[in-house]
Structure 1
Amino acid sequence: ARVRAARLHQRLLHQLRRDSLQRCQLRRLLCYGPGGGEGGVQHGFLLHDPSDSPDTRRALFSLLGESPEGPRLGEFVGDARRQVWQLLWELRDGAGWRQVGPRERVVSAPEPVLHPVVPDLPSSGVFPHREAARAVLEACIPFIPEAQAVLDLVDQCPEQVQKGKFPVIAIEGLDATGKTTVTQSVSDSLKAVLLKSPPACISQWRKIFDDEPTIIRRAFYSLGNYIVASEIAEESSKSPVIVDRYWHSTATYAIATEVTGGLQHLPPAHHPIYQWPRDLLKPDLVLLLTVSPEERMHRIEGRGMERTREEAELEANSVFRQKVEVSYQRMENPGCHVVDASPSREKVLQMVLSVIQNNCN
């Protein structure tokens, strides 16, 4: 049901952006009840028509009437006393759209202490164990054939793997922080094996899953981490291992995407959402490379790289970027050692090797 709802939500978003509704302003909308409420959080859209044209209502009736899942429609109307009222509409067989019940006044309510999507994240984006992510991709097999191929590779990995005697270092960072250069340089210096998440065996399907809703996209990347963990277990018995991104990336981007609003809406420090999954092999050390926003934009210019939806948003949305950075810094067990990657490549490499030497055997 979660997967079907997420795909319906994404399909509606694309339809609401079509020509007949382009004059309207589109915003994300969350509906929830106090303490979680019955039915939990519901995702939707707020469509504002500045011209108050009757064509907008007709276009919505037509669009929603095409959907077999039957999304609900509410209309918010203001009056001369600056009060806002909600009207509910329902599609009835053979009778078209009809207003349901009396209109109800919309009143302000206290802001929740915790963002309403946070309790839902362990089952919709920041999966606490392998089976939670696996269940999502199983539901995708009928319409994403590649999901079965991913699951076949995951099932070849032992459920519990142990790290070898050599250190495992994960290196994290936003796009254009020098992560690729640093991971390669560090692996050369330590004569270490360099691994990447998602691993090469499933990277061919990244574009397919990047175009899917968050719950599916994050399940794909989460399971990629478990495949990498199996590779880490094997390689760390023979040499040090450097991992280019790992679970922290999967979690931070999911949190920053799903928790709407500003930094103040993020889960507080030490919240369970920042804890490492209980069944995923842990690295000995996690390094987070950072540069100033100005330096990062300077490095991005002229690179011409194909970017994921989230990497593109990092450039366009400074609040989203800040939420990713803060989420990285709140990760625990293991936390991130922050390294300023602004200096020269040689100096950054020296700093990284020094941190490794001080924290790993």
Structure 2
Amino acid sequence: MFAGAAQASIAPTVIDFFAGCGGTSAGLRAAGMRIAAAVDFDAAAAATYRANFPDAEFHEADIRELSLDVFDHLVTPGSRLVFSACAPCQPYSSMRPSGSKPRRQERSLLLTLIPFMDRLQPDALIVENVPGLHKIPGGSTWNRFLRYLDRSGYAVSWKVIDCRDYGVPQRRRRLVLLASRHGKLDIPAPTHGGGARAYSTVRDWIGDLPPIAAGETHAEDPLHRSGALGTLNLSRIQALSEGGSRAEWPEDLWLDCHRRSKGHQDAYGRMRYDDTAPVLTTKCTDITNGRYGHPTQDRAISAREAALLQTFPPNFQFLGSLKSVTRQIGNAVPVLVSEAMGVHIVRHLQALDRGHG
């Protein structure tokens, strides 16, 4: 399922800011880069990251409290340096609670990268976030960051992409920025959909997993575990066909809010095997929070299924409770998106090293 990585004589060195559990790093590693260091202040995500990237130094800290010289030893003559900066997306997400506003310090997290860029002058940069990042009133954070890149001599391309276009079996729109100090670096062309290969489906990624019941953990895969369901919610999902919604329920299964409104039809719904999944959130193993019911089994998707739908490789380890692991998975950058961007960056840097840049 994963694209062949571009091979470089000297693998570019990556510092992954706001690394989370490692979705971006996993993709960049698959693209042929060396993951040297990462930063995140979330303890649960840090534990998962360390388990999967034991050779990378991990700084479990707020980036605003890091010394600017902490990464100096990673820059060596002749090496290429790549920064990844996927700042927490909740401040810009359309799924923020109604009426809530991001705090100023949340909105400006991306700008905390600037002193490190000034000091280390990375060859290339990848930024990923929700589409709303460039729609904050006045566009202050986004526009300030773009102005900084322009003043610093970076050529920049950015676009709101559909992750399905890069093999992710999920309807997930993300804003991606690529920048280079060495000339134009376009967003790579889609690999799936349209005239390319067909979109990946839920079946492609989870169709072969062994069945489990609600509340059960598979004996051979601790991550293949599904949350328990009460009697009423079990009856609700049993009443649904594949791809179905609560519109199929008999009236005795309705909630009071459903009698007042026909909105939020995805809640309690089932996925469809031969379609892409809905966007996976930090609560995607709970049927009450979206269309997260398994296509045919009477339960929510398992943590393993959520990880696969985010295109994590099957051997990727996650540490923590089901709630914590689900949050880590939902917050992650889909691995295939990161890999596609990483392959593109590696080829760009290879061309420079061959004297074609």
Q: TM-score, normalised by structure 2?
A: 0.28
Greater relative contact order: 1 or 2 (C-alpha under 8 angstroms, separation 6 or more)? 2
- The structure that has the greater radius of gyration is 1
